[in-house]
């Protein structure tokens, strides 16, 4: 291990300059020759049937090449549905690709107009007249709980219900009990980059190929879905996505508009780009489902939990079943002999929900970590002491030892840094007219490890190239891969090129479930060792090699120069080893995690969120005045991009706690705030200077490099920490998100 660069250094993003100077090509920037534009028309009713559709005016409008709807539907191959409960939409639902005149939700695609310019496509789309036979939609989760049912599987292919010990007995024996219900609203991802998909068909007959430039977090998933949908082999489908302007889960899997882009390109015999507007995005890429969560806790006088029961009711759609795993956090968070979790789904006339940053744990932690705060208050116990009292020594669900669980370290380091010891009784801190409070919550997040493959080549001239079909959704994949190569191989960073996001590259996991960094870093590391061995071998075999007869451990590469460790004057450059015209030296690095059955340890990321709020008791305004997140993500690959993930996730948590809510009109089933003016997200003035501590835990069991995923963990617990701080400031317990002024005033007035 040589060179000046180290794994973990907070170097700037390698693609940062090209992003800020506008030379990066995002999907929407890709314009194949002859490209036409597709614009979708969405249903304006949420339930019923299309009675009539008049496309005549649109078809006659200038520049229009085709109008596609249920009147002239595409003939798509209908694959067998995949097992339920996967983390992404694997089969594109028929109702979203014109296979029916039925309408299941407002915003369902009902027609696509293809024209020679985007303006003409938009103009013609507005000319389509649709009349509906409307039936009464059901869109309100809380009003529909009587229709709740037990789903087959929940996200992550998990069991909906678990039970251990005897919860009722645990509650009976408890000295103190909490039984509360928490509500979270529908929320949307809002990546800055809108969705677009550009489809190109080439060749004829059995040699016909499809290339899709798509905004996707998962090129390989998209390729599989496209191949099955069009009934063609996977090797004749290519999906490309080199850069993403955010995704947060909404771009995992393949969406109907991407299929419709390929349908449109087929119809008009030209490449077609399907453009999705900001408003259309609200129903085109899914959302975080609304939840109702009941938590029952029982505890002995010393705080030891005697029972945990977490029951979640989640919104799903009428035409698909996708159910968030909101209660699974309570399966492993605390030690407790009597524990139960249940998930019930409610079918509503809304678009199908999907994963959104920290699916499951993010809303689940709001419920259970608020309830723990309520329990601490009932017990008269410090909230941190209560959590430490119930820290689990092994995974309560599987019985496996933790690969590492530095929860205590996170809580203790955070408490010291935040000044927790100075925290007085509730409603005892003031700053002028503001009531001041401090809250804490635990963060915990499952992350995934998946097989990853990285091809690494030394090119003539000394350049190093890394390639894999992984993604960088803004998280830093380009950077950590180049950084590992520079640090481990010993070449200058500027000599390393990384290629991502193309199904032609070696397979890697999707950018979902906090999988990429922990999986791809290990494959990159493996590739570096294999490539250096191949380079040393080639160097020894050079005619008149200065390194002849030296063993591998007698050679090193420093800043792109091969040299004998013991005698650095015996040297040659990588460019000298491979002059122009020679064949590249190649190595393939792999990471394969053990299968579920072979796992010897249980691995999660842990953290602790500390928040200080100021609440105006007359106006109900809540301001987050201080925030500290302490996280364990195993080994940190890049201190700067890792910190950026934490800050971004905490900002997302502030939005979830105080601002974000997609409001559905109960009569029409339409979203009333489907734009970024009315759907509130945090702006700079809502966000304090966020303090982040990364513990850089040494976890030898999780994978060779010891890396845990950190993309989602830092959002977990933020909303609970804020709600708990509001309680500490005011004595008012906020159980409905978001904590908007009218809700705060309402709760203060009721004295709850
Ligand atoms: Mo993430 S919600 O797994 O993109």
Ligand 1 atom closest to Cα of residue 358: 2
Quick check: CB of 513 below 6 Å from ligand 1?
A: yes
Name the strands in the sheet holding 452-458, side by side, starting at the edge strand that comes first in the sequence.
496-499, 464-467, 452-458, 585-591
Quick check: CB of 247 below 6 Å from ligand 1?
A: yes
Question: For 187-215, what is the mean pLDDT?
Answer: 95
Q: What are phi and psi of 551, to 5 degrees?
A: -75, 165
Quick check: CB of 250 below 6 Å from ligand 1?
A: no
Q: Whose CA is nearest to atom 4 of ligand 1?
A: 249
- What stretches of 542-620 show up as alpha helix (H) in DSSP? 574-577
| Catalytic (active-site) positions | 712
Nearest-angstrom CA–CA distance, 397 and 160 = 14
Nearest-angstrom CA–CA distance, 352 and 97 = 14
739 has pLDDT over 70 = yes
Quick check: CB of 649 below 6 Å from ligand 1?
A: no
Quick check: CB of 473 below 6 Å from ligand 1?
A: no
Burial string for 694-715 (b: 16+ CB within 10 Å, else e) reads: bbebebeebbebbbbbbbbbbb
Quick check: CB of 285 below 6 Å from ligand 1?
A: no
CA angle 222, 224, 228 (to 5 degrees): 115
126-142 per-position pLDDT tens digit: 999 999 999 999 999 99
84 has pLDDT over 70 = no
Q: Is 671 helix (H, G, I), strand (E, B) or coil?
A: strand
Nearest-angstrom CA–CA distance, 486 and 44 = 54
Q: Return the closest-CA partner of residue 47 out of 134, 129, 144.
A: 134
Question: For 328-334, what is the mean pLDDT?
Answer: 97
Q: Which of 218, 241, 249, 446 best tests ligand 1's pocket when mutated (most atoms within 8 Å of CB)? A: 249
CA of 597 from ligand 1 middle (Å) equals 24
CA angle 139, 145, 151 (to 5 degrees): 95
User: Which residues, in sequence order, are bridge partners of residue 307?
Assistant: 298
145-174 per-position pLDDT tens digit: 999 999 999 998 899 999 999 999 999 999
282-291, 625-634, 693-702: least confident range: 693-702
Quick check: CB of 364 below 6 Å from ligand 1?
A: no
Question: For 374-392, what is the mean pLDDT?
Answer: 98
Ligand 1 atom closest to Cα of residue 356: 2
pLDDT at residue number 136: 96
Nearest-angstrom CA–CA distance, 314 and 149 = 10
Quick check: CB of 188 below 6 Å from ligand 1?
A: no
601-634 per-position pLDDT tens digit: 999 999 999 999 999 999 999 999 999 999 998 9
75-84, 328-337, 599-608: least confident range: 75-84
CA of 357 from ligand 1 middle (Å) equals 5
Quick check: CB of 87 below 6 Å from ligand 1?
A: no
Q: Which of 357, 510, 713 best tests ligand 1's pocket when mutated (most atoms within 8 Å of CB)? A: 357
CA of 211 from ligand 1 middle (Å) equals 25
pLDDT at residue number 752: 62
Question: For 463-476, what is the mean pLDDT?
Answer: 97
CA of 289 from ligand 1 middle (Å) equals 14
Ligand 1 atom closest to Cα of residue 248: 4
DSSP structure class, residue 312:
E
- What's the pTM value of the predicted model, to 2 decimals? 0.96
Q: Which of 475, 512, 709, 716 best tests ligand 1's pocket when mutated (most atoms within 8 Å of CB)? A: 512
Question: For 717-735, what is the mean pLDDT?
Answer: 97
**Are the C-beta atoms of residues 55 and 68 closer than 8 Å to each other?**
no
Q: Is 134 helix (H, G, I), strand (E, B) or coil?
A: strand
83 has pLDDT over 60 = no
pLDDT at residue number 88: 40
pLDDT at residue number 90: 63
Ligand 1 atom closest to Cα of residue 250: 4
């Amino acid at each position: 291990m040589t060179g000046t660069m180290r794994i973990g250094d907070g170097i700037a993003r390698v693609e940062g300059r090209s992003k800020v100077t506008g030379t990066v090509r995002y999907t929407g920037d890709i314009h194949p020759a002859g490209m036409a534009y597709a614009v979708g028309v969405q249903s304006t009713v949420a339930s019923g049937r299309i009675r009539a559709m008049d496309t005549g005016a649109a078809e006659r409008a200038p520049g229009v090449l085709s109008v596609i709807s249920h009147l002239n539907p595409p003939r798509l191959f209908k694959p067998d549905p995949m097992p339920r409960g996967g983390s992404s939409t694997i089969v594109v639902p028929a109702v979203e690709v014109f296979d029916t005149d039925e309408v299941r939700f407002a915003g369902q695609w009902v027609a696509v107009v293809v024209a020679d310019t985007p303006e003409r496509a938009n103009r013609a789309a507005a000319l389509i007249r649709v009349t509906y036979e409307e039936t009464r939609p059901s869109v309100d989760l809380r009003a529909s709980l009587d229709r709740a049912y037990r789903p087959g599987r929940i996200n992550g292919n998990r069991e909906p219900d678990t039970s251990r010990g005897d919860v009722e007995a645990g509650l009976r024996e408890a000295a103190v009990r909490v039984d509360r219900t928490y509500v979270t609203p529908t929320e949307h991802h809002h990546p800055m980059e809108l969705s677009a998909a550009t489809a190109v068909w080439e060749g004829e007959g059995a040699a016909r190929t499809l290339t899709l430039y798509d905004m996707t977090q998962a090129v390989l998933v998209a390729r599989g879905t496209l191949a099955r949908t069009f009934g063609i082999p996977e090797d004749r489908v290519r999906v490309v996505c080199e850069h993403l302007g955010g995704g947060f889960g909404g771009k995992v899997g393949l969406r109907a508009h991407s299929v419709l882009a390929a349908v449109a390109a087929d119809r008009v015999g030209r490449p077609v780009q399907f453009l999705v507007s900001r408003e259309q995005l609200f129903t085109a890429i899914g959302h975080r489902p609304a939840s109702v969560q009941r938590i029952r806790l029982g505890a002995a006088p010393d705080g030891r939990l005697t029972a945990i029961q977490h029951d979640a009711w989640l919104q799903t759609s009428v035409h698909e079943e996708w159910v968030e795993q909101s209660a699974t956090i309570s399966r492993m968070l605390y030690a407790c002999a009597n524990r139960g979790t249940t998930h019930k789904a409610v079918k509503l006339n809304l678009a199908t929900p999907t994963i959104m940053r920290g699916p499951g744990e993010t809303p689940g932690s709001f419920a259970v970590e608020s309830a723990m705060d309520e329990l601490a208050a009932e017990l008269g116990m410090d909230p941190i002491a209560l959590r430490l009292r119930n820290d689990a020594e092994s995974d309560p669900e599987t019985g496996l030892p933790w690969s590492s669980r530095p929860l205590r370290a996170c809580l203790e380091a955070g408490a010291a840094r935040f000044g927790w010891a100075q925290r007085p009784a509730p409603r005892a801190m003031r700053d002028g007219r503001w009531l001041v409070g401090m809250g804490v919550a635990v963060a915990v997040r499952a992350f995934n490890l998946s097989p990853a493959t990285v091809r690494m080549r030394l090119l003539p001239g000394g350049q190093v190239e890394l390639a894999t079909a992984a993604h960088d959704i803004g998280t830093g994949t380009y950077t950590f891969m180049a950084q590992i190569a520079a640090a481990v191989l010993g070449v200058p960073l500027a000599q390393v090129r990384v290629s991502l996001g193309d199904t032609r590259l070696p397979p890697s996991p999707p950018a979902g479930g906090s999988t990429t960094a922990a999986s791809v870093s290990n494959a990159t590391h493996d590739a570096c060792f294999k490539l250096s061995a191949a380079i040393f071998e080639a160097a020894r075999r050079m005619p008149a090699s200065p390194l002849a007869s030296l063993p591998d451990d007698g050679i090193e590469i420093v800043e792109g120069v091969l040299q004998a460790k013991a005698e650095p004057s015996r040297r040659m450059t990588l460019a000298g080893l491979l002059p122009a015209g020679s064949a590249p030296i190649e190595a393939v690095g792999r990471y394969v995690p053990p299968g579920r059955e072979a796992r010897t340890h249980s691995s999660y990321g842990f953290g602790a969120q500390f928040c200080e709020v100021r609440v105006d008791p007359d106006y109900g305004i809540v301001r987050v005045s201080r925030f500290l997140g302490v996280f364990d993500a195993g080994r940190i690959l890049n201190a700067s991009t890792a910190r950026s993930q934490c800050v971004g996730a905490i900002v997302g948590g502030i939005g979830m706690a105080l601002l974000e809510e997609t409001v559905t009109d109960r009569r029409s089933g339409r979203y009333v705030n489907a734009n970024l003016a009315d759907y509130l997200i945090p702006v700079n003035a809502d966000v304090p200077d966020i303090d982040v501590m990364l513990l850089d835990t040494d976890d030898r069991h999780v994978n060779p490099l010891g890396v845990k995923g950190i993309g989602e963990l830092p959002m977990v617990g933020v909303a609970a920490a804020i709600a708990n701080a509001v309680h500490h400031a005011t004595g008012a317990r906020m159980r409905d998100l978001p904590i908007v002024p009218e809700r705060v005033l309402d709760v203060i007035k009721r004295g709850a």
